[in-house]
């Protein structure tokens, strides 16, 4: 298993990744990665015969650029199960 450093996912340092690099980062098979590129699930660009994945697109897919929300929930998604009911102040 390959670990990626913050520099490797910095779009300014490494603006693109190969499909193989993206596949390893996403933890999917080679076949799944190419199928996702073909379907548009993984955004890609073609340069000559090469298929490249913009690093910024990978960061969005992995939700690495989601800003932290106030209150320390670090981007937690609110669902019906974890929402608290509104408190009534007695006004009708």
Residue 77 lies in a domain: no
- Least Cα distance to 2 among 16, 86, 17 occurs for 17
Return the residue matching tokens 């193989």.
20
86 vs 71: CA distance, rounded Å = 17
Q: What is the predicted pLDDT for the residue at 39?
A: 96
The total number of structural domains that make up the chain: 1
CATH number at residue 16: 1.10.10
Residue 73 lies in a domain: no
Domain with 43 in it:
7-61
Q: What is the predicted pLDDT for the residue at 20?
A: 95
Residue 39 lies in a domain: yes
Q: Please compute, for residue 45, the number of CA atoms within 13 A of its CA located in the half-sphere on the CB side.
A: 10
Q: Each residue of 29-82: pLDDT tens digit?
A: 999 999 999 999 999 999 999 999 999 999 888 888 767 665 555 444 444 444
Q: Is the pLDDT of residue 88 over 70?
A: no
Q: What is the predicted pLDDT for the residue at 78?
A: 46
């Amino acid at each position: 298993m390959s670990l990626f450093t913050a520099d490797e996912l910095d779009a300014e340092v490494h603006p693109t990744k190969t499909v193989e690099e993206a596949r390893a980062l996403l933890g999917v098979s080679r076949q799944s990665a190419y199928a996702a590129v073909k379907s548009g699930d993984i955004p890609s660009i073609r340069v000559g015969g090469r298929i490249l994945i913009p690093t910024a697109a990978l960061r969005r897919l992995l939700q690495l650029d989601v800003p932290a929300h106030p209150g320390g929930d670090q981007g937690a998604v609110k669902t019906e199960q974890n929402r608290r009911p509104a408190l009534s102040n007695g006004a009708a």
